[in-house]
Amino acid sequence: MKKLLYIFTLVLISSMLFAQTPPTESYTLLKPDRVFDGEKVHTGWWVLVKGKHIEAVGEPASIKVPDGTKVIDLKGTTLLPGLIEGHSHLFLHPYNETSWNDQVLTESRAERTARAVVHAKATLLAGFTTVRDLGTEGAAYDDVGLKMAINKGIIPGPRMLVATRAIVATGSYQPKSLVENADLPKGAEEADGIDGITHVVRSQIGHGADVIKLYADYRWGLNGTAAPTFTVDELKKAVEVAKSSGRMVVVHSSTEEGMRRSIEAGVTTIEHGDGSTPELLKLMKDKGIALCPTLAATDAIASYFFGWKGSGQEPEMIFKKRAFFKMALQSGVTICMGGDVGVFAHGENSREMVLMVEYGMKPIDVLHSATAVNAQVFGLKDLGSVKPQYLADLVAVSGNPDEDIKTIKLMKFVMKDGVIYKQD
C-alpha cells in the first residue's frame, strides 16, 4: 500500500511539473535583403519567428535575438507574406490535357483526389500558403477531406477555404446529354427557388463549406450564350443564409445582368466580371464588393483554343479582357488576386500576378492584392502581412518583385505555420 502511495505521489508531482513547464518554442531568424510587409518594401529588415508566429519584424538593431536561435541567411531575396490564391480548383487540371467534360465524366474520384494532392503540394512550393478553392467540379465534398488531410499534416499543402460543390440553377450547368434519363455526374449542385436555395446552402455548410459559391450566369442562353440564372431574390436568400453563419458568398458572373443581380444581393466577391460597366464597378466599390478578374484563365483558354502565344495579334477575348481590367483599375474597385488555376497548371499561380502587371497594375499593388488585400477580403485576420503575432506564413523570392514582378516565380523559401517546406 505504501509502495502504491509512493508511486502515485511521484506521478502526481511529475504531472504538476510538466503542467508548469510547457515545451519551449524554437526561434528562427530570417535575414533577407528586403521585406515586403503586405504594404511596403523595407530594405535591410529581419524577421524573427517563434514557433508558428512572427515574433518581431524590423531593423536588426530593434530585434532581440535569443540564444540558440536558428539563423537563415536569405541574401539576394525579398521576403513576403505567404501568397494567397483567390480562385483555384485543386480538383481540376489544365484543359489542354483533358477537357473539363472528360475530367468530370471519365476520371474517378480517387484519381481526381490523387491529382489534387499533387496540386496542393505544387501550390505550396510555389509560395501560395493559402487558397480559396471555389468548387470541386463534380468531386462532391472531397475538398473538405483534402483540407483536413493538410491541416493534420498528412500531406503538404496550403491552408484551404473550400466551397465544396458550388451551386447552379437546374439545367444551366454541365455535363449534359441528349439521351433521355441519362444520369450524369453534375459539375455543381442544382437548386431553385427560395426553399431550394436555403436547403442547398445549409447542406453545403453542413458538409464543411467555408464559402458559398453560386453561378449567377452561365452559357445556357440561346446558342450557348451566357445568360443570368438565379433571380435577385434567390441570390439574396443565399447571401442571407450564408452570412447568418458568418460565411461569404462568391459568384461566377460574366454578364452585365448577372453582375447587377449579384451586386444588388450583396455578395462578397464577383469572379471573372467580364460583363463589367463603369456603373457596375462603381456600385461594387460603393458596396465594398471585390472583383477577382481571373486574367490567367482567359489567357490560358485563348492559348488552348485560339493559338494565342502572348504576342502579336490578340484574340478578341484577350483584347476585351485588357479593356475590362483597365476599366476596373480606373474605377478603384478592390481587386483580388486569383487566376482560376486548374484551368492552367497548379504551381503556376503567379501567372495571374504577371498578367496583372502586363495589363496595367503597378507591381506593388499586385503584391498587396495577393497578400493583405486577399487576407482582408477573405476574412483571414492573422495572414497576409508580416507583423508580430501574425502566423509565420513567409516566402522569399530572388530579386525584387516590386521592380520586376516576374521574380515572383523565383521562389527560394517557403514557410507555413513556422514550418519550412522549401529552402534553396
Which pLDDT tens digit goes with each residue over 231-241? 999 999 999 99
Domain around 253: 83-349
Provide the percentage of residues in the chain whose pLDDT is more than 70: 94
Residues 402 and 321 in one domain: no
Confidence class of residue 18 from pLDDT cuts 50, 70 and 90?
very low
Position 13 scores a pLDDT of 41
Name the packing angle between helices 295-306 and 316-331 (round to 10°). 170
Mean pLDDT of 120-148: 98
Which CATH number is 214's domain given? 3.20.20.140
Is residue 359, in this structure, part of any structural domain at all? Answer: no
Position 183 scores a pLDDT of 81
What are the cell numbers at 127? 509560395
Is residue 319, in this structure, part of any structural domain at all? Answer: yes
Confidence class of residue 176 from pLDDT cuts 50, 70 and 90?
confident
Is residue 408, in this structure, part of any structural domain at all? Answer: yes
Longest CA span, the chain: 92
- Rounded Cα distance between 135 and 138, Å, is 8
b/e per residue 219-234 (b: at least 16 CB within 10 A): ebeeeeebebbbbeeb
Mean pLDDT of 260-266: 98
Residues 90 and 67 in one domain: no
Position 291 scores a pLDDT of 98
State if pTM tops 0.75: yes
Confidence class of residue 181 from pLDDT cuts 50, 70 and 90?
confident
Does residue 2 have a pLDDT over 70? no
Residues 76 and 87 in one domain: no
Residues 184 and 126 in one domain: yes
Residues 124 and 226 in one domain: yes
Residues 303 and 206 in one domain: yes
Does residue 10 have a pLDDT over 80? no
Higher pLDDT, 4 or 62: 62
Is residue 381, in this structure, part of any structural domain at all? Answer: no
Tell me how many domains the chain contains. 2
Secondary structure (DSSP) of 221-279:
SGGG--EE-S-HHHHHHHHHHHHHTT-EEEEEE-SHHHHHHHHHHT-SEEEE-TT--HH
Q: How many residues does the chain have?
A: 424
Mean pLDDT of 105-122: 98
Does residue 16 have a pLDDT over 70? no
Q: Which of 226, 251, 88 is nearest to 259 (CA)?
A: 251
Residues 228 and 327 in one domain: yes
Which CATH number is 57's domain given? 2.30.40.10
Confidence class of residue 179 from pLDDT cuts 50, 70 and 90?
confident
Asked whether 221 and 240 are in contact (CB, 8 A), the reply is no
- Rounded Cα distance between 391 and 69, Å, is 18
Kindly compute the dihedral angle of the four CA atoms of residues 54, 56, 57, 63, in this order, to the nearest 10 degrees: -150
CA distance to 68, 301, 343, per residue, from 294 (Å):
45, 11, 10
Position 24 scores a pLDDT of 55
- Rounded Cα distance between 346 and 364, Å, is 24
Is residue 356, in this structure, part of any structural domain at all? Answer: no
Counting Cα atoms < 13 Å in the Cβ hemisphere of 368 gives 10
Q: What is the mean pLDDT of the chain?
A: 94
